[in-house]
Amino acid sequence: MAFRVLHPTDEFLNYMPFIIKQPETEEEFEQYYDLRWRILRAPWGEAKGSEIDDIEDRCYHVMVTDDDDCIGTGRLQYNTDNEAQIRYMAVADGYERQGIGKLIVEVLEREASSTRHNTIMLDAREPAVGFYEKLGYEVKEKSYLLFNSIQHFRMTKTLK
């Protein structure tokens, strides 16, 4: 069921005009994947469809909307009984640095906690490492190079 989440912290309640929810309808999933493609694939010339992998139906998806536009996405996948992974974090152009990414990560972490996945790992693009550090993630090692150009760093966080 789609839901309107009261923003997880009082800080957000004070000013955040956006809605965060799980995409549910076909149209919502279209918007959700489209933003992933526009932010994470199109700038490198990657084809539509490259933003979708084969485990989407087993993952927890979150989108943020402004009116009816999808302006933020994030996904949690379950790697093992206690480890989850954050992927496909994307905030639309013009909406960065307003707390949307932080809000998405908080909701994904809440889902991870509630399913007893107390360790979260992710592979951060180099320019996003500082963002995850602000949210308590630590760099463990250099990981892969995407599209021959985007260095990723493996980061982890243990949830309390």
Residue nearest to ligand COA as judged by C-beta position: 101
The footprint of ligand COA on residues 92-121 (CB under 6 A) is: 96-102
| Number of residues engaging ligand COA in binding (CB under 6 A) | 19
Cβ contacts of residue 15 below 8 Å, gap of 6+? Answer: none
Under rule CB under 6 A, residue 39 binds ligand COA: yes
**DSSP state letters, 115-150:** TT--EEEEEEEGGGHHHHHHTT-EEEEEEEEETTTE
**Backbone φ and ψ of 110, nearest 5°:** -65, -40
Under rule CB under 6 A, residue 124 binds ligand COA: yes
In the complex, the smallest distance separating the C-beta of residue 137 from ligand COA, rounded to whole angstroms, is 11
Per CB under 6 A, which region of 48-56, 77-85, 91-99, 136-144 contacts ligand COA? Answer: 91-99
Contact between 138 and 101 (Cβ < 8 Å): no
Under rule CB under 6 A, residue 142 binds ligand COA: no
Report which of 112, 71, 130 is spatially closest to residue 121, judged by C-alpha positions: 112
In the complex, the smallest distance separating the C-beta of residue 26 from ligand COA, rounded to whole angstroms, is 24
Tokens representing 144 are: 């892969």
Catalog residues that contact ligand COA under the rule CB under 6 A. Answer: 39-40, 89-91, 96-102, 124-125, 127-128, 130-131, 134
